[in-house]
């Protein structure tokens, strides 16, 4: 998943997806041209925009605190959390595995809405104090908006549809009753899709009754929730299929190794045009020094293919390209989700044992699902 890394907070990597920038602009525009001028007609244009920017920043700060609460509780239960991604309609804690129990799922899920409602109460109290102490109206307006949005965020996330927090609470209850994570995820996913379709239906009604902006927001959110519910269930099925499978069981050992001095022309003729692999390990003096594939070849003008060695254009290997044979196949798939990584090199004592690509992992998943394993 691509994005802009902001740094670390409480030990978690914080990243914003590019869609966040779009939604940030839309929120500021909506606040500066609709929400604040309507409630505070005394604000001039500059004040409305300034208040809109500050309020939008506090909104996304509130989303970050919401996700941090999930991550802290998950980590306290021993579930690894890689980081937090802020994207189009909120945020997501990037956990490396599913919760180990229904109890862990419940507490990890419920803390998010509780945090948002707590933030809402805090800003509501601060705004009330501001009114009593006669603070500047823009400051009171910001507190009022942030309180309202946190109350709405907490209430919305309590909706019983996976992957919303309320859906995760629902999954934990079903999981505790059935002792079946897959089945409980399936039912919670159905509930999530129902919530999403319901939001989209309300959005269409809003548009027809004269509320185009709010209607479009509801449709977009409903569409997102519906898709996320389906995807989350599919991820559980994939994790289940890969459970207990080591990289060594899935890796390929017949991918040709390309000497660094091989010309790009020879590499294309003898490998890219003859085999189905997307990229290949490149070696020099018996050591893997990089990987080369179509993207690297495209960077070389065709009239230089005969005189350019692949070692010059190979993507240098770092830790993100390497994996141990004993690691879980799910970890390999998670690493391969990065569009920059075409294949992982399975290494042991700095020696290449094999490679693993998305195709091999997906074939295994498809076969196991078809066999009902």
**In this predicted structure, what is the pLDDT of residue 83?**
79
pLDDT tens digits for range 124-180: 999 999 999 999 999 999 999 999 999 999 998 998 888 889 999 999 999 999 998
User: Is residue 123 predicted with pLDDT exceeding 90?
Assistant: yes
User: Is residue 116 predicted with pLDDT exceeding 90?
Assistant: yes
The CATH class that applies to domain 247-370 reads alpha beta
Sheet with 279-284, strands from edge to edge, namely 258-259, 279-284, 287-293, 315-316
Give 94's pLDDT tier (boundaries 50, 70, 90). Answer: low
Give 96's pLDDT tier (boundaries 50, 70, 90). Answer: low
Poorest-confidence range of 9-18, 182-191, 199-208? 9-18
Q: Is 348 a catalytic residue?
A: no
CA angle in degrees (0–180, nearest 5) for 264-266-270: 125
User: Is residue 231 predicted with pLDDT exceeding 80?
Assistant: yes
Give yes or no for a contact between 280 and 257, defined as CB atoms under 8 angstroms apart. yes
User: Is residue 261 predicted with pLDDT exceeding 70?
Assistant: yes
Return the higher-pLDDT residue of 10 and 173.
Answer: 173
- pTM listed for this prediction: 0.72
Give yes or no for a contact between 145 and 31, defined as CB atoms under 8 angstroms apart. yes
**In this predicted structure, what is the pLDDT of residue 373?**
59
Stretch 259-279: mean pLDDT: 85
Give yes or no for a contact between 83 and 27, defined as CB atoms under 8 angstroms apart. no
**In this predicted structure, what is the pLDDT of residue 1?**
45
**In this predicted structure, what is the pLDDT of residue 339?**
59
Return the higher-pLDDT residue of 354 and 198.
Answer: 198
Determine which one of 67, 104, 105, 206 is catalytic: 67
User: Is residue 207 predicted with pLDDT exceeding 80?
Assistant: yes
**Distance (Å, whole) CA 368 – CA 373:** 5
**In this predicted structure, what is the pLDDT of residue 321?**
73
Cis peptide before 163 (omega within 30 of 0): yes
User: Is residue 2 predicted with pLDDT exceeding 60?
Assistant: no
pLDDT tens digits for range 302-361: 888 888 998 888 878 776 777 887 877 777 777 777 656 667 888 777 677 878 877 778
Q: Where are the domains of the chain?
A: 4-242, 247-370
Stretch 6-20: mean pLDDT: 80
């Amino acid at each position: 998943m691509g994005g802009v890394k902001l740094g670390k907070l409480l030990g978690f990597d914080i990243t914003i997806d590019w869609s966040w920038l779009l939604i940030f602009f839309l929120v500021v525009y909506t606040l500066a041209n609709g929400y604040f001028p309507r409630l505070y007609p005394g604000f001039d244009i500059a004040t409305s925009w300034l208040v809109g920017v500050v309020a939008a920043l506090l909104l996304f700060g509130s989303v970050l605190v919401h996700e941090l609460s999930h991550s802290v509780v998950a980590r306290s239960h021993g579930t690894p959390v890689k980081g937090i991604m802020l994207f189009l309609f909120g945020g997501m804690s990037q956990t490396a595995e599913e919760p180990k129990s229904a109890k862990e799922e419940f507490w990890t899920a419920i803390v998010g809405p509780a945090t948002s409602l707590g933030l809402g109460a805090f800003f509501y109290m601060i705004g009330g104090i501001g009114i009593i102490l006669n603070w500047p109206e823009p400051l009171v307006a910001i507190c009022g908006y942030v309180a309202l949005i946190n109350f709405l965020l907490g209430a919305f996330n309590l909706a019983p549809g996976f992957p919303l927090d309320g859906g995760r609470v629902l999954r934990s209850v079903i999981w505790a009753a059935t002792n079946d994570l897959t089945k409980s995820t399936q039912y919670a996913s159905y509930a999530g899709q129902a919530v999403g379709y319901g939001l989209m239906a309300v959005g269409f009604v809003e548009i027809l009754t004269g509320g185009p902006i709010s209607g479009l927001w509801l449709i977009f959110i409903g569409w997102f929730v519906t898709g996320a519910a389906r995807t989350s269930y599919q991820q559980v099925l994939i994790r289940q299929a890969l459970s207990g499978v080591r990289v060594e069981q899935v890796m390929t050992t017949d991918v040709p190794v390309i000497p660094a001095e091989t010309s790009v022309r020879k590499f294309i003729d003898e490998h890219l045009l003859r085999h189905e692999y997307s990229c290949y390990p490149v070696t020099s003096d018996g050591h893997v020094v990089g990987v080369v594939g179509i993207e690297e070849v495209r960077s070389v003008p065709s009239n230089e293919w005969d005189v350019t060695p692949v070692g010059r254009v190979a993507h240098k290997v770092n830790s993100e390209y390497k994996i141990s044979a004993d690691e879980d196949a799910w970890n390999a798939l998670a690493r391969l989700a990065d569009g920059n990584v075409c294949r992982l090199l399975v290494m042991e004592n700095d020696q290449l044992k094999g490679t693993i690509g998305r195709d091999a992992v997906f074939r295994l998943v498809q076969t196991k699902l078809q066999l009902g394993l």
